[in-house]
Amino acid sequence: MSGRVIVVGSVNIDLVVRSARLPAPGETVTGGSFEQHPGGKGGNQAVAAARLGASVHMIGAVGVDWFGEDARLALAIAGVDVTGLVADPDAATGIALILVDDAGENVISVASGANLAIGSDAIQRELGRLGSLAGDVVLVSNELVPAAAATALTGGSAGGARTIFNPAPAAGVDPAWFESVDLLTPNRGELWRLAGVEPGSDVVAAARGLAVREAVIVTLGSEGALVVPNEGEPWSAPAIPVDVIDTTGAGDAFNGALAASLAEGRALDVAVRRAVAAGGLATTRVGAREGMPTAAELAAVAG
């Protein structure tokens, strides 16, 4: 029997303006096009897991506003249980303002809003309401206040779940959290920052310095992923060949697929290879959530 995927993380709305070039300070550039998309690392990861057939429960917060209604509806339509998504009357829904030029360069400003308002008490209460977490996977991203992220990890671990921590961004992470982290999923830059070493340092040595409970899984983009377990030799999961169009959301697809595969009871090596494939497929379409694969699409390339 499959366990649940419980995602604790951010829920945003992305407001995107595409124009020929980015404005200089104080300048207005006209003639652009506008798009609105649901986003936030937590929301994206929840959708990625749900598309693969996992039973997904989202814990996070939005404001009592139109953007919050849109964000909640988008998750529900994707099959995510949003009963744990708090509506905060005192904070706005998280917003990312994104400017993109014709060359693909972008400038992003984020107002985290309700994502920073959800507290440890609310997270602990929701985890408790879900009952036993044995067989479940708790996936936590770091777009929350540090105390909230820490509570999600310790609460998930104490409840019997397998915990995945995606340290994006890598700021504000307390190494003491790793006592409650089974799997850590940084990219290279995040790994070097967490390990306190210079960029370009040996990846395996840096991963070995992080005292997580099971393994550090370093995402390497077009090179796939490197798994550094606490015991045994490191091993790699190669990327699948794809025609890359847009890398937005690839990391979220990876983490969502990893959580979904583990919740199904798949072995870690199989789960990582499926996660790498899901991240690759996500780059073949424009948009963070638009490219996330279905179960059938992933099975076609990764089994």
Is the CB of residue 61 less than 8 Å from the CB of residue 86? yes
- Distance, C-alpha 301 to centroid of its chain: 22
Six-digit token string for 187: 């990219």
Is the CB of residue 113 less than 8 Å from the CB of residue 91? yes
The yes-or-no verdict on residue 1 having pLDDT over 60 is no
Task: Assign domain 4-12+40-92+114-302 one CATH number from 3.30.413.10, 3.40.50.10190, 3.40.1190.20, 2.60.40.1730.
Answer: 3.40.1190.20
End-to-end CA, the chain = 19
pLDDT of residue 34: 94
Distance CA 195, CA 210 (A): 7
Residue type, 213: R
The yes-or-no verdict on residue 249 having pLDDT over 90 is no
Q: 55: pLDDT confidence band, cut at 50, 70 and 90?
A: very high
Closest by CA to 97, choosing from 45, 149, 36, is 36
pLDDT per position as a tens digit, 230-242 = 989 999 999 999 9
Mean per-residue pLDDT for 68-84?
Answer: 97
Does 246 participate in catalysis according to the annotation?
A: no
Is pLDDT larger for residue 215 or for residue 247? Answer: 215
- How much of the chain, in percent, has pLDDT values that exceed 90? 85
Q: What is the CA radius of gyration of the chain?
A: 18
Domain ranges of the chain: 4-12+40-92+114-302
pLDDT per position as a tens digit, 170-215 = 999 999 999 999 999 999 999 999 999 999 999 999 999 999 999 9
- Distance, C-alpha 238 to centroid of its chain: 20
List 65, 81, 136, 252, catalytic entry: 252
Distance CA 208, CA 257 (A): 24
SS3 35: strand
Question: Regarding beta strands 4-8 and 55-63, do their DSSP bridges make them parallel or antiparallel, or are they unpaired?
Answer: parallel
